């Protein structure tokens, strides 16, 4: 049984997770688990109103409570030096001023930290927090997106940037819709969703000296956090250390420096001891961002034989009043299908809530849900098989950029997925398929996610004992980064993975971008590859330059390497090992550091990953309950570095997509501006029995253009489109088109 699950399709010598044993035995140390002498415990007091100001904050009782070391608020905060100058911490695509923690008495959202209690134990801090009395002067707040649609506007940060891709976009003449033979029009809604990784966000902030700060933080962006904190506290970069060696999931919640990080850092400054702060689950809903609620309107026109003529796509999402969060919601619509007339509009409404942020597949997940639902509706309007409709509109090159794809195997994904799933058995007639009492539905959707790549650096050190240490300051939020990097290093150096150790999770390591946007393998993987390649060349050079070596004066081009042994090609007997070369040269170690970044290939090619999901659902007609029975997912993601962890990524993405489709929703009571589903009893993520067998396939793509490793990234495409595939299956099962997620029983009955 277990073998069948874990080793399914695992016929390519995939590596097990290099940190798997540490994780399952509890030996992996997560942020909150570092044992620092003298550590203190912090608990936040948060605002209960959505907008207004604090008129009084009475902390006397709390200060007198047993074990309490300090109560810090805007009244007595040691202050963040950079808060004086605005904006303190600008971040890409999120423009505005990040919340200034304990800076003044203004309230921007319910759940905003207004004070932090520091005590000798967590329990005492927790108790003291309940004693703080805060009084507010309330102002009317706006938290309802639908009620505020009239305020929808092009984001100011887009208006300022003429190169932004979120400007109004028109290709051809979208008015052509009026003359289309077949048309559909629909509005789709997704609610606010929260990442809710199992590990809550946690931090230990430690001022080792008045100008030296160390953070043990759950962050996906190690270097970024280091830079942010250095700027905020006006410290030299090297005086800030950030450590995040293990992360229990994040899905985007760890992409920014959030208020609780600043609160803990300020608290540690005040009490001059390390401060540990762990967010309780309830605060995970207002402290670390969310997927924005989004309302999308789509129209589509096609010829009778199913050739798309027009698509219009308008998206309105929420943001906060103090920052603009924008994401790629409408971009896929311009490139997923070959369609001459396309227009997209992207708008934001600012509300009195905390700023949303990127959540797995940000933008694409939202936009492709609407687009792929609309494609299904169009297929029904055309009375055409939904898969056939997609085939007929396949984009052979990027219709927006007018560039060839660096590689694309969407058609192969359709073919492989459909064959394995048994798509041909589908009877398109709604309510026509049954199993016992259950209504059965088959649905499918395409998926896509852009390829991205950032600057990254890596160091590779060959040691006298034959081990290679490879390093980069990336994080690993769960995809198996350490494992993938080990594989890349081992393959590049022609060594067994057992000889490789990959270090990550510390800001002292060579630069890496944040683990975001499915860029880690493409960016850090490329740097690792380049560094290991350089190391190998250095070893080869050394071998041919060593007078007492059997390879002395050989042309390096005539050499081969296997298992760490260099020999004249075709003549393995003449070889010498890496270790012997070091010894012959009396070298304790050999080290290289290399960098890698995107280049001119981005002007020549359009780069995206593509895939397709096929889903079977059963709907109980008595109760409206939907259960997903089977999923086949297939993607072309360039080179698959390590099949086993890649497969896990795809499974995880599908699980996230099932949650998005059927259960996940953060409901706010707009009278109070507070979430009323802010815990795991009410915010439903799928549990084991909600998840059926998921078959994962990859189409082998050889893509020499994307980056040196040839991998496009996989973390996000795995979830994109899943919700549409489920919703489409529900339609075929029931004849009901539910256009606002999640599809809960109340909407179907």
Q: Which is nearer to another protein, 62 or 315 (by Cβ)?
A: 62
Tokens (6 digits) for 710: 């040839």
Q: Least distance (Å) from another protein to the CB of residue 523?
A: 37
DSSP 8-state class, residue 198: S
What span, in angstroms and rounded, lies between the C-alpha atoms of 220 and 255?
A: 5
C-beta separation of 279 from 202 below 8 A: yes
Q: Least distance (Å) from another protein to the CB of residue 664?
A: 10
What span, in angstroms and rounded, lies between the C-alpha atoms of 327 and 345?
A: 12
Q: Least distance (Å) from another protein to the CB of residue 656?
A: 14
Q: Which is nearer to another protein, 152 or 190 (by Cβ)?
A: 190
* CB neighbour class for 64 (10 Å; exposed up to 12, middle 13-18, buried from 19): exposed
Q: Least distance (Å) from another protein to the CB of residue 629?
A: 11
Q: Which is nearer to another protein, 528 or 730 (by Cβ)?
A: 730
Q: Which is nearer to another protein, 60 or 234 (by Cβ)?
A: 60
Q: Which positions ≥6 away from 603 have C-beta within 8 Å?
A: none
What span, in angstroms and rounded, lies between the C-alpha atoms of 158 and 372?
A: 26
Helix (H, G, I), strand (E, B) or coil at 649: helix
Comparing C-alpha atoms, which of 601, 603, 630 is closest to residue 726? 630
Q: Which is nearer to another protein, 45 or 461 (by Cβ)?
A: 45
Q: Which is nearer to another protein, 321 or 744 (by Cβ)?
A: 744
What span, in angstroms and rounded, lies between the C-alpha atoms of 167 and 347?
A: 9
Q: Which is nearer to another protein, 690 or 740 (by Cβ)?
A: 690
- Residue ranges in contact with another protein by CB under 8 A: 48, 66, 110, 123, 126-127, 130, 280, 282, 437, 622-625, 627, 662-663, 667, 669, 671-672, 674, 676-679, 681-682, 684, 686-690, 744-747, 749
Q: Which is nearer to another protein, 394 or 630 (by Cβ)?
A: 630
Partners of 136 in the β-ladder: 54
* Phi and psi at residue 9, to the nearest 5°: 55, 15
Q: Least distance (Å) from another protein to the CB of residue 627?
A: 6
The C-alpha angle with vertex 390 and arms to 389 and 396, in degrees rounded to 5, equals 130
Q: Which positions ≥6 away from 599 have C-beta within 8 Å?
A: none
Q: Which is nearer to another protein, 404 or 624 (by Cβ)?
A: 624
C-beta separation of 490 from 519 below 8 A: no
- Give the count of beta carbons closer than 10 Å to the beta carbon of residue 548: 7
Comparing C-alpha atoms, which of 380, 273, 266, 327 is closest to residue 92? 327
* CB neighbour class for 132 (10 Å; exposed up to 12, middle 13-18, buried from 19): buried
CA distances from 284 to 100, 144, 678 (A): 19, 20, 8
* Phi and psi at residue 499, to the nearest 5°: -90, 0
* Alpha helices in 202-342, H assignment, sequence order: 222-232, 259-271
- C-alpha R_g of the chain: 27
Total count of residues recorded for the chain: 749
What span, in angstroms and rounded, lies between the C-alpha atoms of 665 and 722?
A: 16
Q: Least distance (Å) from another protein to the CB of residue 672?
A: 6
C-beta separation of 718 from 635 below 8 A: yes
Q: Least distance (Å) from another protein to the CB of residue 670?
A: 9
Q: What share of the chain is helix, strand, coil (3-state, %, to 5)?
A: 30, 30, 45
Q: Which is nearer to another protein, 626 or 724 (by Cβ)?
A: 626
Helix (H, G, I), strand (E, B) or coil at 350: strand
What span, in angstroms and rounded, lies between the C-alpha atoms of 72 and 82?
A: 18
Q: Which is nearer to another protein, 80 or 439 (by Cβ)?
A: 439
Q: Beta strand pairing status for 212-217 and 240-243?
A: parallel
Positions of E strands within 429-570 = 433-435, 438-450, 456-463, 468-471, 500-503, 559-562, 565-568
Instruction: Kindly state the helix (H) or strand (E) to which residue 491 belongs, with its residue range.
Output: helix 481-493
Q: Least distance (Å) from another protein to the CB of residue 667?
A: 5
The answer to whether the bond into 742 is cis (omega within 30° of 0) is yes
- The rounded Cα 134 to chain-centroid distance in angstroms is 36
Start-to-end CA span in the chain (Å): 37
Residue in 364, 377, 701, 716 annotated catalytic = 716
Q: Least distance (Å) from another protein to the CB of residue 522?
A: 35
Q: Least distance (Å) from another protein to the CB of residue 313?
A: 30
Q: Which positions ≥6 away from 403 have C-beta within 8 Å?
A: 397, 604, 605, 606
Q: Which is nearer to another protein, 2 or 746 (by Cβ)?
A: 746
Partners of 668 in the β-ladder: 675
Concerning whether 580 is annotated as a catalytic residue, the answer is no
Q: Which is nearer to another protein, 57 or 348 (by Cβ)?
A: 57
* Residues annotated as catalytic (active site), given as ranges: 716
């Amino acid at each position: 049984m277990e073998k069948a699950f874990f080793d399914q399709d695992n016929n390519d010598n995939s590596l097990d997770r290099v940190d798997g044993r540490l994780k399952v035995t509890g030996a992996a140390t997560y942020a909150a688990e570092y044992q620092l002498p003298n550590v203190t415990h912090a608990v936040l007091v948060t605002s209960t109103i959505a907008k207004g100001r604090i008129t009084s904050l009475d902390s006397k009782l709390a200060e007198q409570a047993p074990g309490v070391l300090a109560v810090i608020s805007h009244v007595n905060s040691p202050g963040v030096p950079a808060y004086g100058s605005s904006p303190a911490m600008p971040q890409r695509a999120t423009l505005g001023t990040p919340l200034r923690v304990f800076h003044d008495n203004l309230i921007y959202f319910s759940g905003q930290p207004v004070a932090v209690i520091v005590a000798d134990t967590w329990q005492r801090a927790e108790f003291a927090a309940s004693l703080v009395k805060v009084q507010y002067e309330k102002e009317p707040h706006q938290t309802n997106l639908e009620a505020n649609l009239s305020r929808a506007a092009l984001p100011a940060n887009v208006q300022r940037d003429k190169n932004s891709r979120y400007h109004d976009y028109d290709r051809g003449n979208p008015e052509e819709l009026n003359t289309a033979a077949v048309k559909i029009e629909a509005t789709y809604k997704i609610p606010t969703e929260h990442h809710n990784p199992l590990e809550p966000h946690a931090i230990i902030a430690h001022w080792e000296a008045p100008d030296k700060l160390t953070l043990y933080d759950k962050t996906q962006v190690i270097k970024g956090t280091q830079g942010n904190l250095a700027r905020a506290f006006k410290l030299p970069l090297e005086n800030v250390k950030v450590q995040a060696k293990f992360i229990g999931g994040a899905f985007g919640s760890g992409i920014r420096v959030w208020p609780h990080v600043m609160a803990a850092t300020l608290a540690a400054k005040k009490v001059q001891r390390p401060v540990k702060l762990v967010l309780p689950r309830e605060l995970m809903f207002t402290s670390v961002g969310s997927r924005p609620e989004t309302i999308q309107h789509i129209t589509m026109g096609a010829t009778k034989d199913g050739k798309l003529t027009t698509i219009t796509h308008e998206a309105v999402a929420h943001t906060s009043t103090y920052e603009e969060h924008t994401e790629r919601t409408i971009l896929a619509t311009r490139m997923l299908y070959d369609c001459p007339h396309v227009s997209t509009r992207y708008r934001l409404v600012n509300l009195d809530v905390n700023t949303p942020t990127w959540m797995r597949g940000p933008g694409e997940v939202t936009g492709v849900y609407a687009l792929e639902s609309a494609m299904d509706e169009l297929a029904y309007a055309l009375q055409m098989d939904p898969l056939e409709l997609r085939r007929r509109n396949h984009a052979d090159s990027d219709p927006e950029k007018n560039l060839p794809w660096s590689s694309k195997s969407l058609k192969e994904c359709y073919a492989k997925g459909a064959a394995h799933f048994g798509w041909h058995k589908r009877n398109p007639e709604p309510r026509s398929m049954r199993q016992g009492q259950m209504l059965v539905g088959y649905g499918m959707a395409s998926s896509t996610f852009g390829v991205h790549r950032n600057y990254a650096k890596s160091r590779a050190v060959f040691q006298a004992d034959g081990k290679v240490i490879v390093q980069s300051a990336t994080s690993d939020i769960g995809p198996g980064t350490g494992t993938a990097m080990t594989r890349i290093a081992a393959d590049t150096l022609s060594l067994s993975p057992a000889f490789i150790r990959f270090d990550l999770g510390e800001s002292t390591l060579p630069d890496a971008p944040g683990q975001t946007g499915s860029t880690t393998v493409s960016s850090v993987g490329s740097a690792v590859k380049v560094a290991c390649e350089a190391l190998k060349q250095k070893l080869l050079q050394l071998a041919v330059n060593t007078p007492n070596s059997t390879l002395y004066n050989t042309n390096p081009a005539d050499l081969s390497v296997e298992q760490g042994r260099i020999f004249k090609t075709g003549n393995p007997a003449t070889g010498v090992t890496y270790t012997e070369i070091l010894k012959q040269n009396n070298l304790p170690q050999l080290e290289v550091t290399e960098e890698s970044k995107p280049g001119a290939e981005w002007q020549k090619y359009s780069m995206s990953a593509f895939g397709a999901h096929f889903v079977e659902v059963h709907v109980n007609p008595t109760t409206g309950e939907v259960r997903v029975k089977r999923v086949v997912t297939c993607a072309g993601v360039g080179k698959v570095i390590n099949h086993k962890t890649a497969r896990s990524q795809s499974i995880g993405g599908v699980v996230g997509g099932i949650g998005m489709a059927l259960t996940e929703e953060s409901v706010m009571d707009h009278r109070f501006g507070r979430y009323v589903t802010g815990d795991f009893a009410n915010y439903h993520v799928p549990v084991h029995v909600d998840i059926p067998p998921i078959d994962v396939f990859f189409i082998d793509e050889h893509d020499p253009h994307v980056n040196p490793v040839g991998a496009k990234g996989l973390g996000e495409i795995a979830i994109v489109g899943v919700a549409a595939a489920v919703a489409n299956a529900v339609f075929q099962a029931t004849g009901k088109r539910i256009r606002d997620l999640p599809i809960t029983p109340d909407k179907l009955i």
